[in-house]
Amino acid sequence: MLRPFGEGEGLPRDAYVSPAVHQWELGAFLDDAWVCVGRAQALDQVGAQRAIRAGREGVLLVRDRSGEIRGFFNVCRHRAHELVQVGECVRGGQIRCPYHGWVYELDGALRGQRREQEPRGLVPVRVEIWRGFVFVNLSGAAVPLAEWLGDLDALTAAHDLGSLQIAATHSYELVANWKLVVENYHECYHCPLIHPQLCRVSPPGSGQNYAGAGAWIGGPMQLMADVETMSFDGKSGGLPLPRLSAEQRRSVFYYGVGANLLLSLHPDYVLTHRLEPLAPDRTRVECQWLFHPDAIAAPGFSPAYAVDFWDMTNRQDWRAVERAARGVVARLSARRVRPARAGGLRVRDPRGPRLPRRRLGPLARDGVAQAGGERRRGESPRRGGIPTTCPFGHVPWRARPAAARLVALRSLACAPAARLRPHIGPPRPAEPAILPPHARPPPYRVHRVDRRCSGVDRVRHRLREEVDGRARAGADRQQRARRAARRARRPARAGDPAGADRGRLRGRHLRRGRAGRPLRRGEAGQAL
């Protein structure tokens, strides 16, 4: 959708259940963009190797002898066998294929070879590190990571994410589409009914979104007056992050980064959700709790106060998301899903906390509203706004306003859904004007044979018509022969000629007189 929550409509049913749409999303949102694959802490020493799945490909992350993290496609160059099973972490001074024993150095160069004249190293994957998070780009064509993140680096600087360490990790596998998880994370309209414990420590209606550049969306939610952090009793079991201001310690900041990373920045810890779309109806979510090293080293420290609270909150969300997924699959949800009427989302400029808060204005159907105005028809998309004629992956994120990022995942999955199958049958009702021209269904009926058919289809159509014509002609001849036989078998009447002559005369002259006019009743005997 390209309108505020409560006024717009969401994606059609196929966007959540279609395998073809799912494959398109893996390529558009994960292969062509930056994808978070975890924390650099998981590769804590030289020779550590970890295999993960990013989009449609397997990636092998390795810490080489210089301490740098490298990425390679997790495929041996000999017989395309997986080097390390996805999800496993191994250690060693070399990379060995378990199938035929090919050996690679930690920099990807082929070390041992059999029956091969020219060595072939592993295919590298583009890797960059941002504040302890490892990002990969499979296509190699994305903009630099710093440019892709935009203002997010400055917004999270006080939390010092690079110095935090992993204290706990939980994994969940949901029977739901990954977009439902993202949509659930970015709204708290459901919190009073689903999360009563959360509402005791944070007002559900206090959420805001920052208007900044970058491939992210999010902002702060306030804590209650007597609450220190998000826990069952509102008390912190650790140490506050040292660089936070007094105002920042009264808020929890929620950011969605790209398509698969969700950041929840608390005053004393950071919670991350990393999504792995497995199928149209299955999603794996990896949650990690990050704390300051001084808090982890403190005597008697336990992250249970934060882990238990969010594990309960996560499971409440997962039940709701899976029920929503079952509802989306239902036949009654064939139309577009309407989002909850949560009211306007407030947008705040992070550069000035004293600026007035304003609601997200209505978005024009032929463009996208910006924080400082609306994009007019014909304006260059790189100077503001997002074009409605191409997927957002083709436009730099720094050129996209916050409103477009808010709804990008919903609005742009419509385009491939409309191109998946040709429309055969009566014309569909007119689609909203926000769809790009190439995504709109044809306003005419698609005939069996038209210019879009291939040559094989045209030949098959002509042969079918010829065979059908011959079959119809043969059936007509057989029907005429049966009628003639029945007329010949009828007994002759008194005063009529012989039966054979009668059959011949009846067929030629009985129905018409000698002058050619039709005979009247009673004239048949006179004619004979």
3-state secondary structure of 127: strand
Give me the residues paired with residue 61 across strands: 50, 71
Instruction: Record the tokens describing residue 403, joined without a space.
Output: 């409103």
Q: In this model, does residue 333 exceed pLDDT 60?
A: no
Instruction: Record the tokens describing residue 343, joined without a space.
Output: 């009211």
Q: In this model, does residue 286 exceed pLDDT 80?
A: yes
- Between CA 119 and CA 77 the distance in angstroms is 10
pLDDT digits (tens, 9 = 90+) for 485-500: 888 887 766 555 555 5
Q: In this model, does residue 99 exceed pLDDT 50?
A: yes
Q: How confident is the model at residue 215 (pLDDT cuts 50, 70, 90)?
A: very high
Domain ranges of the chain: 35-141, 455-527
Instruction: Record the tokens describing residue 447, joined without a space.
Output: 């005939």
pLDDT for position 276: 95
Q: Which of 314, 309, 303, 312 is nearest to 166 (CA)?
A: 303
pLDDT digits (tens, 9 = 90+) for 394-438: 333 333 344 344 334 443 333 333 333 344 444 555 444 444 444
- Between CA 417 and CA 439 the distance in angstroms is 8
pTM of the model: 0.65
CATH fold for domain 35-141: Rieske Iron-sulfur Protein (2.102.10)
Tell me if 198 sits within 8 A of 191, measured CB to CB.
Answer: yes
Helices vs. strands in the chain: H and E counts, helices first: 14, 21
Q: How far does Cα 131 stand from its chain's mean position? A: 27
* 313-317 CB contacts, 8 Å cutoff, 24+ apart: 313/195, 313/197, 313/198, 314/170, 314/172, 314/285, 314/287, 316/194, 316/195, 317/181, 317/184, 317/185, 317/194, 317/195
Q: In this model, does residue 446 exceed pLDDT 50?
A: no
Highest averaged pLDDT of the listed ranges 204-208, 218-222, 456-460: 218-222
Q: In this model, does residue 167 exceed pLDDT 80?
A: yes
Q: In this model, does residue 173 exceed pLDDT 80?
A: yes
Q: In this model, does residue 115 exceed pLDDT 60?
A: no
Give me the residues paired with residue 310 across strands: none
Q: In this model, does residue 332 exceed pLDDT 50?
A: yes
3-state secondary structure of 527: helix
